[in-house]
Chain A
Amino acid sequence: MLITCPYCGPRDVSEFAYQGDGNRTRPDPASTDAEAWNAYVYDRLNPAGIHNEIWQHAGGCRAHLAVVRDTLTHDIKSVRFAREHGAPPHGRRTSGAKA
């Protein structure tokens, strides 16, 4: 499997670390809503199909990536930096691109 890191370009999956379900939202830090915290810490979606996932390019630029992946086919629909919601500012590195 290859994941196209928005910074580093396509890299082997062995360079990436799975960092969990990307659908979770962390409650407000001061929240005492036990159910919300329980959902955040323990509940995970496990869909057969399209899934939002967080991966870290641990063996590369170390950025966390929001990856949309089809768990049935391993098709990767999209990858973006987890910290950003817009397009990556630095441009994608593609094979053959000039630096």
Chain B
Amino acid sequence: MSPRRTPSGGRIDRLRTIRFTFDGNAYTGHQGDTLTSALLANGVLLFGRSFKYHRPRGVLTAGVDEPNALVTVLRGEVREPNIPATMVEIHDGLTAVSQNRFPSLAYDVSAINQLGGKFISAGFYYKTFMGPVIGPLKGTRFWMLCEKIIRRAAGLGRAGHAPDPSRYERMNAFCDVLVVGSGPAGLAAAHEAAQSGAQVILAELDQSFGGSANWSGETIDGEPAATWASDVVGELKTHDNVRLLKRTTVWGYYDGNTLAAVERVSDHKDTPARGAPRHRHWTIRAKNVVLATGAFERPLVFPGNDRPGVMMASAAMRYANQYGVLPGEKIAVLANNDSAYRAAAALAKAGARIVAIADLRPDVSAACRKVASEASAELLTGHAVIGTEGGKKLSGVKLAPFSAASGVSKGNARDIGADCLIVSGGWSPTIHLASQAGARPVWSDDLQAFLPPETGKGWIGAGAFNGSFSTAEVISEGFSAGRKAAGQPTLETTTLPDVEPAPLDPNPAPVFEIKAKGKAFVDLQHDVTADDVRLAHLEGFVSVEHLKRYTTLGMATDQGKGSNVPGLAIMAEALGKPIPEVGTTRFRPPYAPVSVGALAAERFGDLKPDRLTPMHDWHLENGATMYSAGLWFRPMIYGDPGETIEQAYVREAGATRETAGIVDVSTLGKIAVQGPDAAEFLDRVYSNVFSTLPVGKARYGLMLREDGLVFDDGTTWRLGEHDFLMTTTTANAGKVMQHLEYFLDVVWPDLKVHLTSVTDQWAGAAIGGPKAREILASCVTGTKVDNEALPFMGIVHGEISGAPVMICRLSFSGEMAFEVYSGAGHGTHVWEALIEAGKPFGMVPYGLEALGTMRIEKGHVTGAEIDGRTSARDLHLGWMLSKKKPFIGSAMMDREGLSASGRLELVGLISLDNRPLSGGAHIVEEVDAANPHGSLGHITAACFSPALGKYIALALVSGGKARHGKRAHISDPLRNRFGPVEIVSHHFFDPEGKRMHG
């Protein structure tokens, strides 16, 4: 005897046959089947092995709460593990495999763990992985080896290594009303909200709208509930203001009524549509939310409750009514409330035999008796299942008289043959999203479950979420929730729809566990038993939060959807406290697992956008090796074939000092500082004075932070009386902008200054070297560039090859140099004209490595030295601190700590062993490779200097100038580099600046 497809019935398309494989075996199913319904229809009962004990497991539920039937879905080389088979829609070509078994699902070597079960109890991992604290194995690696083996044996699916070629996307949505769940309550709410004209989004996690209407077997106003539901959906589709999202799990409820959802767009398809994502992540900002998320039926805890063939009563009914699948042919029932009777009736109607109904309650209602007798089932009130028979599938159950008051069975047990046991232990409203939103659940004695508070900030509940289980009432609640959420007045009178059959009472007897001999599981997915919970209590865990972490109860991928309340009840009993006093844990996002791809969406690969200079393509075409500097891409070197990086930059820097070189400086941050108070503003933000700068001149400026340390440097050009162009370092452009904006907005709102980022407006080319002026003179029109027209730090306007340019004579390389700015759209045009003009002179393009080399030779500081710890004096820039005016940082820069002796100061280093130096290496007085110590400071930047013919570096060294001329050593244990250096001035090359002043 085994599960099978019924000859008729269900909401599947029996004319459409779908082929798929599970564990390598080919099966068929129908359109509308899930993997579980299709496999059950094929007689498959065994779906996986359990987490710790490798016990055989079947399918317990029909939905997102499934703890047992987890599978790995394969798409080509890509594995997606731990997917509840209940949520997998079958499609042609679907390939799924079971998990946590070796070598096969039916014959699993680790199943031996079942015998040693006592040793893998609560807190097993915490206890075990500490390793022996005494004895010969203490402190050995032996335990780490054991850990590896244990970790392999325990666990669920295995993640793959193949890159996922699927596409994922993110979507933003805004609405007046978001309805979560499309059962009768959700549909009613969406209908009412849509009528009012509000923007409505209806999200349903399943493949079809309707929720319980698809399997309840009820009639609503005379028509089947499923028809009623599809009529409502049909009408919703006609509204422009409604967006219907199925296969969409709302998984997070965040501040400001921002909700996160994931739509499984293509998982149910053989091949996704072109350009369509596999998952689409929705961020929904809703004015109001209607939570119509329903309720989960709770399992009962009894020995053998994990045997394949044990199933939730509502799930069994759903398999029969929605999928036309009987989970068994001889079905026994275990219940502590009336709702299981409805399932028994449905299964009997679909063709199964109900062999017995064991009800934990001493007596049941007449309505229940009637259903039982109509199903020809033997009704055993005051009875419990105290054990299950069978190996990999259920063959029978042990029934015994039971006292609901004591929770123990008494009297003689009786064996009844059954291939399926359906269970109902009551209902837990799905309050996860409300709990995420901060709602404190309220314990209901009637329902023996946590209910949401009546209403929350930003959301309204409806239906089983509220603990309402009569479909007529549920629909009425949905209507009013929808009206309220859309801001409509409540209707004075409402007529309840006519729902048949009459509802049965879902309120259970307060029984969660049947105590008898054998393993009784609370959390099936993490293999946590009732005894584990009690053991945790004995070991002193009294807080529910600690219990959860110690036993791992409710911490598996199902997040304890079925196990939370039973676990809490057992803990409460052990503590001798009522359940509400023990409390409940707060639910956290995600409500159900979310693919990482959906969260990353379009941010894959390099993650960040590329920022390209106007001359980017020229660099690539001319042999540049690029590297990234923040978001920017910049040429590192323009290497000749066969050249090393060092050879290339030495050649480029050498050629620049010999004749001329040109470098792309478009990445420098550029900020337009405009307005009548611009000069005053600059005086306040720079440590030196700018108000005295004449129009047409530039000045080097230094900015401090409020705490007196150096922030950034750069030149600022006065283009007009009220018009300055500030340049910043590439790396700090954004930070400087924000810093300036802060002061204008928050501290000095009275200043008339506007700031605009114009970094992208200008292309910048710096041309330097002894021949630079000649080259420029040969191609610039409209202005002279001689010393008179263009003195050091002067600015002129002209044209190059027909494009307007602005030229400032300033130097970073220490050579006679000019920065040529043109409109970014003309950048390549001007650059190419300069390259052409430079050819007769032997000018070379150079990259950042050569730029860095020349600045090290000159002792200019960059971000490596302006590291947030150095003061202006540490960098020998004390001369830039104006005494005539206060500026940002002036009040704090003279603090004791910042002027103390022994601070790290900028110096130069020369390698005395003619070997390269590296950034980050430490400076010591005496080398002690075995025990490096006594650091005097560290190297910030290093290179081979073509001008000096030596390996040199800039460093921050304690004592600074006082050590000039002294010998020291570098100590770089990471790269095993030790060797002698001479400490010198950071001005290695042309200290008087003769070359640039020329």
A interface residues, Cβ below 8 angstroms from B: 1-2, 10, 12-13, 17, 19, 26-27, 29-32, 34, 37, 40-42, 54, 56, 58, 62-64, 73-74, 81-84, 95
Is the Cβ of B749 less than 8 Å from the Cβ of A83? Answer: yes
- Residues in A neighbouring B707, C-beta threshold 8 A: 41-42
- Residues in B neighbouring A82, C-beta threshold 8 A: 745-746, 749
Judged by a CB distance under 8 angstroms, whether B747 is at the interface is yes
CB distance from B743 to the nearest CB of A (A): 9
Of A13, A37, A42, A83, which contacts B745 at CB under 8 A?
Answer: A83
B interface residues, Cβ below 8 angstroms from A: 174, 254-258, 283, 285, 438, 684, 706-707, 738, 741-742, 744-747, 749, 886-887, 890-892, 895
- Residues in B neighbouring A42, C-beta threshold 8 A: 707
Is the Cβ of B174 less than 8 Å from the Cβ of A95? Answer: yes
Is the Cβ of B741 less than 8 Å from the Cβ of A62? Answer: yes
Of B438, B738, B886, which contacts A30 at CB under 8 A?
Answer: B886
- Residues in B neighbouring A63, C-beta threshold 8 A: 745
- Residues in A neighbouring B255, C-beta threshold 8 A: 1-2, 74
The 8 A-B pairs with the shortest beta carbon distances in the complex, nearest first, are A83-B749, A2-B256, A64-B745, A29-B886, A1-B255, A74-B255, A37-B891, A82-B746
Is the Cβ of A17 less than 8 Å from the Cβ of B684? Answer: no
Give CA–CA (A73, B254) in the complex, Å.
11
Give CA–CA (A34, B892) in the complex, Å.
8
Is the Cβ of A41 less than 8 Å from the Cβ of B742? Answer: no
Is the Cβ of B285 less than 8 Å from the Cβ of A2? Answer: yes
Offer 8 A-B interface pairs, CB within 8 angstroms, sorted by A: A1-B256, A2-B258, A19-B742, A27-B891, A29-B891, A31-B891, A56-B745, A64-B741
Q: Could you say which of B438, B749, B890 has the most chain A C-beta atoms within 10 Å of its C-beta?
A: B749
Give CA–CA (A17, B283) in the complex, Å.
20
Is the Cβ of A32 less than 8 Å from the Cβ of B256? Answer: no
Of B257, B285, B738, which contacts A58 at CB under 8 A?
Answer: B738
- Residues in B neighbouring A17, C-beta threshold 8 A: 738
Is the Cβ of B891 less than 8 Å from the Cβ of A56? Answer: no
In the complex, what residue of chain B is closest to A31 when comparing beta carbons? B891
CB distance from A18 to the nearest CB of B (A): 11
CB distance from A36 to the nearest CB of B (A): 9
**Residues A41 and B438 in contact in the complex (CB < 8 Å), given A56-B738, A63-B745, A95-B174:** no
- Residues in B neighbouring A1, C-beta threshold 8 A: 254-256, 258
CB distance from B672 to the nearest CB of A (A): 14
- Residues in A neighbouring B892, C-beta threshold 8 A: 37, 41
Is the Cβ of A12 less than 8 Å from the Cβ of B738? Answer: no
Q: Could you say which of B741, B886, B891, B892 has the most chain A C-beta atoms within 10 Å of its C-beta?
A: B891
Give CA–CA (A19, B886) in the complex, Å.
23
- Residues in B neighbouring A56, C-beta threshold 8 A: 738, 741-742, 745
Is the Cβ of A41 less than 8 Å from the Cβ of B749? Answer: no
Give CA–CA (A17, B738) in the complex, Å.
10
Give CA–CA (A84, B744) in the complex, Å.
12
In the complex, what residue of chain B is closest to A27 when comparing beta carbons? B891
- Residues in B neighbouring A12, C-beta threshold 8 A: 258, 283, 285
In the complex, what residue of chain B is closest to A65 when comparing beta carbons? B745
Is the Cβ of B258 less than 8 Å from the Cβ of A64? Answer: no
In the complex, what residue of chain B is closest to A22 when comparing beta carbons? B746
Q: Could you say which of A17, A37, A64, A84 has the most chain B C-beta atoms within 10 Å of its C-beta?
A: A64
Q: Could you say which of A29, A31, A54 has the most chain B C-beta atoms within 10 Å of its C-beta?
A: A29
- Residues in A neighbouring B684, C-beta threshold 8 A: 29
Give CA–CA (A32, B745) in the complex, Å.
24
Give CA–CA (A54, B744) in the complex, Å.
13
CB distance from B889 to the nearest CB of A (A): 10
In the complex, what residue of chain B is closest to A29 when comparing beta carbons? B886
- Residues in A neighbouring B254, C-beta threshold 8 A: 1
Give CA–CA (A95, B707) in the complex, Å.
42
Of A19, A32, A64, A73, which contacts B891 at CB under 8 A?
Answer: A32
Give CA–CA (A42, B897) in the complex, Å.
15
- Residues in B neighbouring A62, C-beta threshold 8 A: 741
- Residues in A neighbouring B745, C-beta threshold 8 A: 56, 63-64, 81-83
CB distance from A66 to the nearest CB of B (A): 8
Is the Cβ of B746 less than 8 Å from the Cβ of A54? Answer: yes
Give CA–CA (A37, B704) in the complex, Å.
15
Since A30-B886, A42-B707, A83-B745 are in contact, a sample of 19 more A-B pairs with Cβ atoms closer than 8 Å, ordered by chain A residue number, is A1-B255, A1-B256, A2-B256, A2-B257, A2-B258, A10-B256, A19-B742, A19-B746, A29-B891, A31-B891, A37-B892, A54-B746, A56-B738, A56-B741, A56-B745, A64-B742, A64-B746, A83-B744, A83-B749
- Residues in B neighbouring A2, C-beta threshold 8 A: 255-258, 285
- Residues in B neighbouring A29, C-beta threshold 8 A: 684, 886-887, 890-891
In the complex, what residue of chain B is closest to A38 when comparing beta carbons? B892
Give CA–CA (A74, B438) in the complex, Å.
11
Give CA–CA (A1, B255) in the complex, Å.
5
- Residues in A neighbouring B895, C-beta threshold 8 A: 34
- Residues in A neighbouring B890, C-beta threshold 8 A: 29
Give CA–CA (A13, B254) in the complex, Å.
12
- Residues in A neighbouring B741, C-beta threshold 8 A: 56, 62, 64
CB distance from A75 to the nearest CB of B (A): 8
In the complex, what residue of chain A is closest to B172 when comparing beta carbons? A12
In the complex, what residue of chain A is closest to B750 when comparing beta carbons? A83
- Residues in B neighbouring A64, C-beta threshold 8 A: 741-742, 745-746
- Residues in A neighbouring B887, C-beta threshold 8 A: 29
CB distance from A19 to the nearest CB of B (A): 6
- Residues in B neighbouring A32, C-beta threshold 8 A: 891
Give CA–CA (A64, B737) in the complex, Å.
13
- Residues in B neighbouring A34, C-beta threshold 8 A: 895
Give CA–CA (A73, B747) in the complex, Å.
29
- Residues in A neighbouring B257, C-beta threshold 8 A: 2
Give CA–CA (A54, B895) in the complex, Å.
27
Q: Could you say which of B706, B745, B747 has the most chain A C-beta atoms within 10 Å of its C-beta?
A: B745
- Residues in A neighbouring B256, C-beta threshold 8 A: 1-2, 10, 13, 74
CB distance from B481 to the nearest CB of A (A): 22
CB distance from B707 to the nearest CB of A (A): 5
Give CA–CA (A14, B744) in the complex, Å.
23
CB distance from A23 to the nearest CB of B (A): 12
Give CA–CA (A79, B299) in the complex, Å.
49
Of B283, B706, B886, which contacts A41 at CB under 8 A?
Answer: B706
Give CA–CA (A64, B255) in the complex, Å.
22
CB distance from B689 to the nearest CB of A (A): 15
CB distance from B803 to the nearest CB of A (A): 31
In the complex, what residue of chain A is closest to B757 when comparing beta carbons? A62
Give CA–CA (A81, B256) in the complex, Å.
20
- Residues in B neighbouring A27, C-beta threshold 8 A: 891
Give CA–CA (A2, B258) in the complex, Å.
8
- Residues in A neighbouring B747, C-beta threshold 8 A: 26
In the complex, what residue of chain B is closest to A42 when comparing beta carbons? B707
CB distance from A25 to the nearest CB of B (A): 10
Give CA–CA (A37, B256) in the complex, Å.
37
Of A19, A40, A58, A74, which contacts B706 at CB under 8 A?
Answer: A40
- Residues in B neighbouring A37, C-beta threshold 8 A: 891-892
CB distance from B754 to the nearest CB of A (A): 11
In the complex, what residue of chain A is closest to B737 when comparing beta carbons? A62
CB distance from B744 to the nearest CB of A (A): 8
